[in-house]
Structure 1
Amino acid sequence: MSSMENANAEGHYKILVVAIAIGLFGCFFRFAGESSIYSIIANIAIIIGTIIALKAVFAILK
């Protein structure tokens, strides 16, 4: 597979969409309430979304 075909693979962009959705969930969940558990869940979701997005971006650049 050439690098251009790898960069244009549909799977990379599906993973990016999922990662962005997880990050947005974390961002919106941060404002769900004043409890510390909401903040912890939001932080975890944002971190997971960021890690998935970075892996997808580096796979595209590879």
Structure 2
Amino acid sequence: MSTNTTQQANDERHYLVLVVAIAIGLAGVFLRFAGEAPIWSIVSNTILVLAVILGLRTVFGILK
């Protein structure tokens, strides 16, 4: 493994994006339990999907 690849994988931007994705996911989980209205369910599911996509893109970027 080259040093450049290691430095790129250890870039702190990746981990900051992961923290943001986790925070967004937690907001989605909170909204899931916030109310019984169907709109809350739709909003929370959308937020959770966005957080998962952001997190997976970041993890695969680290592994690349």
Q: Give the TM-score range, shorter chain.
A: over 0.9
* Equivalent in the alignment of 1:28: 30
Q: CA RMSD in A?
A: 1.0
- 5+ residue gaps, structure 1, are none
After superposing on structure 2, the runs of 4+ consecutive aligned residues of structure 1 that deviate more than 3 Å are none
Deviations 1:1-38 (A, max 9, x none): 71110111000000000100111100111011000000
Provide the aligned length of Structure 1 versus Structure 2: 62
Structure showing greater Rg: 2
SS at match of 2:36: coil
Q: Percent identity?
A: 52
Q: Give the TM-score normalised by the residue count of structure 1.
A: 0.96
